[in-house]
Amino acid sequence: MSSYTYIVIGAGAAGCVLANRLSADPSNTVLLLEAGAKDNHPLLKIPAGFAKLMGTKANWIFDTAPQKHLNERSMFLPQGKALGGSTSVNAMLYVRGNRLDYDEWAEMGCEGWSYDDVLPYFKVHERNERLADEYHGISGELNVADQVQHNPTSRAFVRAAQEAGIKRTDDPNGASQEGVFFHQVTQRNARRESASTAFLHPVMDRSNLTVLTGAEVLKIEVKDGRATGVRFVRKGKEEVAHANSEVLLAAGALNSPRLLLLSGIGPADELAAAGVSVVHDLPGVGKNLRDQLEVYITREARQPITYSGEDRWDRALRHAIEYGLYRTGPATATITEAGAFVSSSDDVRSPDIQLHFLPAYVVWKDGARNAEKIAGHGVTLLACNIRPISSGAVTITSPDPSMPAIVDPNYMSDERDMDVAVEGFKIMRRVFEQPAFKELLKDEQLPGPSVQTDEEIREFIRAWGKTDYHPVGTCKMGVDELSVVDPKLKVHGLEGLRVIDSSIMPTIISGNTQAPSMMIGEKGAAIILGSGPA
Ligand SMILES: Cc1cc2nc3c(=O)[nH]c(=O)nc-3n(C[C@H](O)[C@H](O)[C@H](O)COP(=O)(O)OP(=O)(O)OC[C@H]3O[C@@H](n4cnc5c(N)ncnc54)[C@H](O)[C@@H]3O)c2cc1C
């Protein structure tokens, strides 16, 4: 059996940062286990490849339990499965959330996690190509860039939003989150910058770092209240690795709780019902699942200027050649070029709705795996409730790791989330009605004129709402009885085991979750090493 100082489970947003930082000290030996494959497929490198990755084997395929408040629909909720984790399949938007999100964590008892505490851990690994101020780093490993091009309809969206009264901001990750903006993205020279390209590949040759792909952890071994190692399967063979110091779980918001449960760490009654021997009774494991739900409107374009249909083979070939020669053109696009943070009412403490503008038709019937093809040119605007109150759970029904977990985000179980979504829908229509779009867009295609009253909008949301792919919170950090880890990210009641990934967020941050997950990896490493930002 091989032994290491640290075993990191999962090479995603947090896991890659952890493996990098812990192996920087040559006296540590680090084993990084990743269930997915290497990240060398071109679709993981070319930004527009993002749209082609849904439902492929670069993902863990999770389908939610039928959603009671969404017409019993089951939602496709993928998670990245490759080096880089979800950062290898995501839309690359670089967003940190609102400073009050982190201040709220600190108020909840998560000492050391206020905005002022976490800001240095965002900055230290950032290499921002445009911004250099108190909010941004310029010399870290993670390249953050402006997008190479903006479709004319994306530019019109930014103008239309201003006409609708939304102020313009150059930096939603800076002094003020509110406003409309062009997204910065995790790209380098117009290629995807994932957690693995930024933090892992540059240090792969460290002799004290072992990275195994195709290595799925089945169980965390616990002896006398201490995590001693892991049992994993690779090339059809089961192996055991021993951790001399700590096991660090970074498998993401759906797989981290699943693995704890499979290891007998979780609510004793649920484990017993699933036939799993209880190793450590911890009621909060898998609870507090938060995810952001979004609703959208599509409009037909007057001219063939959007990205709709640009993936047809002959056009795709042309774009691939342009991309190969010059690193320009639609292949550089993340599909989401512009966005906005707005408030559903004057009463909210900070923006609670995020708008995403897509210069293409993108329609997911029934929250399905693949976007539906719609002929012609058009655009899609999405409104996402970024601070949902509704919460759900991840549970297991069997000790068999090959059995799927039950993932139930319980979307819209709190009626207040529906009120925010309805307001988001009305804001989108207001933006679409502005003069900036007049020359460019024709009629609303989805949902169309038949949806007018609040009740019609609610029914449309129940029928068409979809995930924004940001599940978090299932191993929440805190000091209350449902928390799973303490503010040092140690699993309550056990030694030698921490959870360090998006699952530790006690509440969901107001925005996209990759940058916060990398920050969690960075801060987690500093806590373990007893250091400051690297
Ligand atoms: C389709 C999609 C689009 C997104 N778009 C954006 C975006 O544009 N901007 C943004 O900020 N966020 C986006 N996100 C969310 C963001 O990428 C995630 O929140 C973030 O990557 C979570 O980081 P993590 O470290 O918790 O988990 P992940 O990055 O998911 O990493 C977990 C890793 O653990 C591995 N793993 C899991 N179980 C095991 C096991 N048993 N054994 C070994 N390895 C295991 C997984 O394969 C994976 O590599 C998107 C996510 C998806 C899925």
Establish whether residue 216 lines the binding site of ligand 1, counting it when its CB lies within 6 angstroms of any ligand atom.
yes
Mean pLDDT of 203-208: 98
Q: How far apart are CA 240 and CA 233, in angstroms?
A: 9
Looking at every residue in the chain, the average pLDDT score rounds to 96
Regarding the domain delimited by 1-55+78-147+192-288+470-534, which CATH topology (the fold level of the hierarchy) does it fall under? FAD/NAD(P)-binding domain (3.50.50)
Arch. (CATH architecture) of 152-182+292-469:
2-Layer Sandwich (3.30)
> Residue ranges of the domains in the chain?
1-55+78-147+192-288+470-534, 152-182+292-469
Which pLDDT tens digit goes with each residue over 445-485?
Answer: 999 999 999 999 999 999 999 999 999 999 999 999 999 99
Q: Which residues lie closer than 8 Å to 282 by C-beta, 6 or more apart?
A: 260, 265, 266, 267, 484, 491, 492, 493
Angle at 509 between CA 508 and CA 513, to 5 degrees: 95
How many angstroms separate the alpha carbon of residue 330 from the centre of ligand 1? 25
Q: What is the pLDDT of residue 318?
A: 94
- Residue of minimum CA distance from atom 3 in ligand 1: 90
Which pLDDT tens digit goes with each residue over 255-295?
Answer: 999 999 999 999 999 999 999 999 999 999 999 999 999 99
Mean pLDDT of 73-82: 94
Residue % of the chain over a pLDDT of 90: 93
Which pLDDT tens digit goes with each residue over 217-269?
Answer: 999 999 999 999 999 999 999 999 999 999 999 999 999 999 999 999 999 99
Predicted confidence band at 352 (pLDDT cuts at 50, 70, 90)?
very high
Mean pLDDT of 383-411: 97
Mean pLDDT of 188-195: 98
Q: Decide: helix, strand or coil at residue 128.
A: strand
Which pLDDT tens digit goes with each residue over 486-521?
Answer: 999 999 999 999 999 999 999 999 999 999 999 999
**Annotation says 470 is catalytic:** yes
Predicted confidence band at 529 (pLDDT cuts at 50, 70, 90)?
very high
- Name the residue of 513, 518, 523 to mutate for ligand 1: max ligand atoms within 8 A of Cβ: 513
Q: Is this complex scored with an ipTM above 0.95?
A: yes
Given a cut of 90, is residue 374 above it in pLDDT? no
Predicted confidence band at 53 (pLDDT cuts at 50, 70, 90)?
confident
Q: What is the pLDDT of residue 368?
A: 65
Q: How far apart are CA 200 and CA 380, in angstroms?
A: 35
How many angstroms separate the alpha carbon of residue 505 from the centre of ligand 1? 14
Establish whether residue 484 lines the binding site of ligand 1, counting it when its CB lies within 6 angstroms of any ligand atom.
no
Mean pLDDT of 91-114: 98
Q: What is the pLDDT of residue 306?
A: 95
Question: CB–CB of 517/504 below 8 Å?
Answer: no
How many angstroms separate the alpha carbon of residue 89 from the centre of ligand 1? 8
Given a cut of 90, is residue 50 above it in pLDDT? no
Establish whether residue 500 lines the binding site of ligand 1, counting it when its CB lies within 6 angstroms of any ligand atom.
no
Q: What is the pLDDT of residue 366?
A: 63
Establish whether residue 95 lines the binding site of ligand 1, counting it when its CB lies within 6 angstroms of any ligand atom.
yes
Q: What is the pLDDT of residue 367?
A: 65
Predicted TM-score (pTM) of this structure: 0.98
- Residue of minimum CA distance from atom 49 in ligand 1: 85
Q: Which class for 63: exposed (0-12), middle (13-18), buried (19 or more C-beta within 10 A)?
A: middle
Establish whether residue 211 lines the binding site of ligand 1, counting it when its CB lies within 6 angstroms of any ligand atom.
no
Tokens linked to 260: 């704890």
Radius of gyration of the chain (CA): 22
